[in-house]
Amino acid sequence: MQYIGYVLLIVHGLLLLWSTGGFLEMILPKVPWKPFTNPEFPTWVLIIHWSSVLFASVSFLYGYFFQWSKTPEIMTVAYGLMVLVCIIETFGYMTSKTKYMAMSAEFLAYTAILLLLFKSKYFIDYFNQ
């Protein structure tokens, strides 16, 4: 289970980089990479999108490195925010044919991570030290 913790650290580290890049794409006239911000989304949605991803990534990284006992609860809030943003994006702005499959996969990932954080003996012990 410890290795799953490392995988989650890597995933949330990548989410931190992704959200930072997303904010940079919003404020800079040009970035040195192929933009990954969806041009179909209005600015107000992007601000909420990148903020929720930033919040989730920083919360998990902080919680894991400092063994913060409230990490599972704060991740429930963080993923809940990301779910709301995903619903807005999927039903309001996305035009991809696979948008519902992508939304389902995202929800499944959040559910799996939260189940691990709340039900796995390793994570329960880890965050309650």
Task: Tell me how far apart the alpha carbons of residues 44 and 15 are, in angstroms, rounded to a whole number.
Answer: 20
What pLDDT is recorded for position 60?
98
Q: Is pLDDT above 90 for 1?
A: no
Which tens digit of pLDDT belongs to each residue from 114-125?
A: 999 999 999 999
Q: Which helix (H) or strand (E) holds 88?
A: helix 71-92
Structure confidence at residue 43 (pLDDT): 94
Determine the 3-state secondary structure of 66 from DSSP. coil
Dist. CA 42–CA 54, nearest whole Å: 18
pLDDT tens digits, residue range 8-63?
999 999 999 999 999 999 999 999 999 988 888 999 999 999 999 999 999 999 99
